[in-house]
Every structure is written in structure tokens, then in C-alpha cells.
Structure 1
């Protein structure tokens, strides 16, 4: 049951995926499956990580795979990481793609609209 880590809604014309809590080896597979099942038909995806309290390497791999798969399908995506916090710090330490990271939802949505 992924309700404790993930919620789905719309933000403009994009699918909004909000992750929260700890994203790690114990739950990243389940979270990934839930996201893939939900965003199949979406052309634009925003993944909000601002309330993630912990992100390990399994979570980073999940995000990398999601971003890569969406790009391969011609879909646009952005990760909302805030200006600071655990998710932003972990992704920066892992040298994650800066071109998909945004500080807030409005900026992320604007980038997807371009």
C-alpha cells in the first residue's frame, strides 16, 4: 500500500506525483510500480520530492529510471526538490541531472510548458 509515500493529482496539464517520507530499498519498487501504472497516459509529469525525509541509492535509481523511461517515450518530466532538503542533497551528491531539477512546482510546470 503506497498511500503513505505517494499521492497523485493534477497540476495544470501535468500529472503531479508527490512523494513523502523515506524512499529506500524497502519501498522503491512498490512506489515505482504505482507511478508507472498511473502516468502511462500522461505527457507531462511533475514529481514533488519536497517532503521526502530520506532518499537512498534505490530511490535515486528509481528516479533515474523514471526520468529516462519518460524521456525515451517522448514525455517531459521534472523533479521538484526545493532549495534544500534531503532529496535535493542526495541527488546533488549523486551528480543527478541538473536539467530535470527545479526548486518549486510553478517553475517546474513552466519548464514543462516550454
Structure 2
């Protein structure tokens, strides 16, 4: 991962799931790089949480990135949740786009517990 990607993506673990923290603006200028960084890190994971609570802007390229990631992860049998919080840019945009509600969560700890059950 490059220093440039580090400003938008951080990786950690929560329980037995990989946790991807996204922050700042996710748009056409960085969505491809962010997607490559995520895919390279979560290949072996069975459960993935993507925390979008500190994303301040999400354009159509960011929505396409999330849609492709969720689709690919589900196709590979990996349980996934997008944590969008109670309010915020990512939550608003994903709701406006009629994004899959079954993968959206408002609370990180609750989403992690759901994946572990």
C-alpha cells in the first residue's frame, strides 16, 4: 500500500473479522487505488467489516467500488457488513442509491457480533 492510500484506508482486526477503515473522500480520483489495496489485503478473510463512518464524501465511483467489493465478497462466501453509522455522507449516499440494506449496519460492534454468530 502506498502512502497515498494510507490516508484513505487502514486495516485491523475485530474479533475474527478483517476490519477496513475508510476515511475522507472516496471518489473517481482514488476509488481504484483503494479497491486494489482492499482486495490485496482481504483475500484470505472469511469475514469483512468495512467502516465508512469517517467517509466525508462518496461519489458514484465510490458506490461502484463498494458494490463490486460486496458482490465479490459474497460470491466468494465471505460474510460482509458496511458500517455507515446513524448519519453521515456514506449512509446518506448509499440510502439514496438504494444500496443493499442487508449489508448496512449502524454500529461496528453490533456488525462484528452479527458476523460472528
Alignment of 1:32-111 (within 5 A): 32-111=35-114
Secondary structure of the residue aligned to 2:87 is: coil
- Alpha-carbon RMSD across the aligned residues, in angstroms, is 0.5
| TM-score (norm. length: structure 2) | 0.96
Structure 2 residues without counterparts, runs of 5 or longer: none
| TM-score (norm. length: structure 1) | 0.98
Per-residue deviation, 1:111: 1.4
Structure 1 residues without counterparts, runs of 5 or longer: none
The number of residue pairs the alignment matches comes to 114
Per-residue deviation, 1:107: 1.1
Q: Which ranges of 4 or more aligned residues in structure 1 deviate by more than 3 Å?
A: none
Q: 1:15 aligns with which of 1, 18, 26?
A: 18
